[in-house]
Chain A
Amino acid sequence: MLENLLVQGLSGLASASSLFLVASGLTVIFGVTRIVNFAHGSLYMLGAYLAWTLVTSLPRGHLGFWGGVAMAALIVGCVGVLIEVLLLRRIYKAPELFQLLATFGVVLIVQDLALLSWGPQDLLGPRAPGLRGATEILGIRFPLYELFLICVGPVVLALLWLLFNRTRWGTLVRAATADREMVGALGVNQRMLFTTVFFLGSVLAGLGGALQIPRESVNLQMDLAVISEAFVVVVVGGLGSLPGAFLAALLIGELQAFGILIFPRITLVLAFLVMAVVLVIRPHGLLGRAPSTAHGATAIEPPYPPPSPWVRRIGAAALALAVIVPPFLGDYALIVFTEIAIMVLFAASLHFIMGPGGMASFGHAAYFGFGAYGAALLLRHFGAPMEMGLLAAPFAAGLGGFVFGFFCVRLSGVYAAMLTLAFAQIAWSTAFQWVELTGGDNGILGVWPSPWAQSKLAYYYLALTLCAAATLLLRRAIFAPFGYALRAGRDSPLRAEAIGIDGFRIRWFAFVLAAVAAGIAGGLFAYAKGSVFPTYMSISRSVDALLMVLLGGVRTVSGPILGALAYTWLHEQLMRAFDLWRLFLGTIILALVLFFPQGLAGALQRGERRS
């Protein structure tokens, strides 16, 4: 028994080391550039693939293996520099969400490039020379390579400490991490600093990936798997804090090692649960500090102009078309139309908290999923009809928003985004692992509409009615006192509080409203597809919603509607026409971030003003 615990503890340490390698790079990059780099997981994956290629093609032996690993890490470092110079350098001043999204675009592109270069199958790497065997600890065999990994973490931490405390460059990095204004004062050096920091962080990610090849197979899912764990570690430790990342990596590594023994059913939730608890108790992580400059003092938001007569006319015409045309369409087109109607509501609900509320949500799919599961679970366990399911959907989502929102709306910026992500991952893993209730990965099937709504046309009209009504309600709320109060809290929390506005309650209620709306969309989606899966709550669905809002333009009220139309249509076309749709989508995201930061509606508005 005791031996068992020891072995478990040791493997926990080994995972902690690997986690730390990835997380340290992420946290150093964040500390200096303030960018939350989603693509860090992709760099890790690239490191593993490159190491696999190099090690298997170089001559066997120490030089071949370790040389291959080191070369892989350095190449990844150069890729990181490329990303920094070509992309990130242009968007350091953009809102956080845009940066997050841009790096997500890189994730998509790297996924397809890796697929092209290495194929879809898992690759098994060679063992490390000299560390192939196992050693006996208390009579139990323990792999040597794991012991080696256990040492790597502290050694890297020590080396980084020396680098940051004993070199001039390190002093600059620490100064820039501690004080934002400091970076501006660096002048010319700033570019060099950012690029070199990115190089270091990328090397660490690449090294982390490369060192995994003797341990586990290399595959295309590594990137997102590792990035979500690395996020947890970095956020729990405190963004920008190296010792924090080390501490958090130990905590998470051990928790997962022992979690498997104690709660085998909730291993996936565990890490995110820890993150949620830490953020609720210590909003800036274990060793993190509150940002030195005021968070709220960002760019001045433009006013929401009331819709011009033209916009009204176009909107009315679009709605009229959406009502008149469908009877002449085939089933496939009706399915796409239904999905578009649902996505318009989903995007509008996210925009409600992002635009007027100024809150970044990276986990909005949770409420979409609550809606879908609310309806499907009622059907599965009580045989409830569609009408009841569609009532339960907003209720379940609203309840989820009520509980999660209570914690999320207290934070701001990246931390708020990360907490919403953590809650969404908790919801996702619950759906995934609680098989008795939710059917796990197999989902819940047979979620069909009532007989009267079974034809595609009838269901489309049902979806259109509910979605249009809910979207219009959200729009009204934006222009009503409530929406103004929400914007007041975003524009100037100080003034809002000084005229009696309780920002917390306002934002909380907005969060619940948005969740309810997303829940309606989710419920409708469940009956449209006839099934419900955990993927309804996945990160990529949250990103879909973000893309729709940002594509349309977060600073306009009609933006999300336009964005949802464009995105759903585009997504559908890309998926049908190309195998490499991720590559295209990623490229589109980058183009959007670099050239249309105001989104489609923003671009149109500018055009209208000019003419």
Chain B
Amino acid sequence: MTLEVRDLHKSFGGVRAVSGVSLSVAAGELLALIGPNGAGKSTCFNMLNGQLRPDRGSVRLRGQEITGLAPRRIWRMGVGRTFQITATFASMSVLENVQMALLSHARRLFHIWNPVAKEDPSRALALLDRVGMSAQAARPCGVLAYGDLKRVELAIALANDPALLLMDEPTAGMAPAERVALMELTAHIAREGGIAVLFTEHDMDVVFAHADRLLVLDRGRPIAEGIPSEVRRDPRVREVYLGTGATHGYT
């Protein structure tokens, strides 16, 4: 198993954002974490990549305990992530954004002499090419459309050859056709490279088309888990989520 999570808990003040979540993702597998707004999906992600420290529970990456490590340490162990609200370096070009991840991976951040502009761009361009963003490589990230930013984030997340990809609503802000294309691409990359993918998504078309398995959260608790066809029929899931009209589009 690439990722194994046991009994994760997190509260904010009185709010139990996540209570008792366990899951595992194998290499090359896509697991979708779904649930209504405020179900605790992003909080889960934040605990997995080290942004938040869990109150209880353990996170293991390829058998190694990573609970409580800093995000930068976890990244170095091979976990890439994209954010629900995109986070990129607005004052840099698309290419430079990806180059930063590559430079960091090569541990060359403290170099103060050779300009970044003289770096060989081929690897960064190749990554951008994979997500269909190489034509916009020279544009500053500050002016991109939201859907394009999500693609750039994917390219950044792939820069350190991750074993695990965490994608928080990777297709939010995209047109429906784009969404399917991007998830197809993600699935392809994951299967080809043996990357485990955990993603959240409100678009059920995308989820049911690409996820190998689903985990449904409601108010922090897991209420169902299984392959798409099973979960779709689960009465509790229909009640709290699928029946609420959140079946299509972004809520």
A residues adjacent to B (C-beta < 8 A): 300-304, 306, 473, 476-477, 479-485, 487-488, 490-492, 494-502, 506, 509, 513
Contacts and interface: CB of A to CB of B under 8 A. Distances in A.
B140 interface: yes
B71 interface: yes
B223 to A, nearest CB: 29
A484 to B, nearest CB: 5
Given A485-B104, A499-B156, A480 B87 contact: no
Contacts of B93: 303
Contacts of A473: 112
B110 A488 contact: no
A501 B108 CA distance: 10
A480 B111 contact: yes
B126 interface: no
Contact of B140 (A303, A306, A481, A487): A303
Closest 8 CB pairs of A and B: A495-B87, A477-B112, A491-B89, A301-B91, A500-B104, A485-B109, A499-B101, A479-B115
A501 B72 contact: yes
Contacts of B185: none
B49 interface: yes
Given A476-B115, A500-B76, A484 B100 contact: yes
Contact of A491 (B81, B92, B103): B92
Contacts, number: 117
A488 to B, nearest CB: 5
Given A481-B103, A482-B112, 5 more contacts: A480-B116, A482-B111, A499-B101, A500-B75, A501-B100
Contacts of A477: 112-113
A494 B116 contact: no
A300 B112 contact: no
A491 B156 contact: no
A480 B109 CA distance: 9
B116 A501 contact: no
B251 interface: no
A210 B113 CA distance: 57
21 contacts: A300-B90, A303-B91, A303-B92, A476-B115, A480-B116, A481-B103, A481-B112, A482-B111, A482-B112, A484-B96, A485-B100, A487-B91, A488-B89, A492-B89, A498-B71, A498-B72, A499-B100, A499-B104, A499-B159, A500-B105, A513-B112
Contacts of B112: 473, 476-477, 480-483, 513
Contacts of B159: 499
Contacts of B104: 485, 499-501
B222 to A, nearest CB: 25
B231 to A, nearest CB: 30
Among A302, A476, A479, A490: residue with most chain B CB under 10 A: A479
A300 B160 CA distance: 27
Contacts of A482: 109-112
Contacts of B49: 498
Contacts of A502: 72
Nearest to B108: A481
Given A303-B140, A492-B87, A498-B81, A480 B113 contact: yes
Contacts of A492: 87-90
Among A482, A484, A491: residue with most chain B CB under 10 A: A484
Among A473, A476, A488, A498: residue with most chain B CB under 10 A: A498
A418 to B, nearest CB: 26
B92 A484 contact: yes
A303 B142 CA distance: 9
Interface in B38-89: 49, 51, 70-72, 75-76, 81, 83, 87-89
Interface in B98-139: 99-101, 103-105, 108-117
Contacts of B160: 499-500
A309 to B, nearest CB: 15
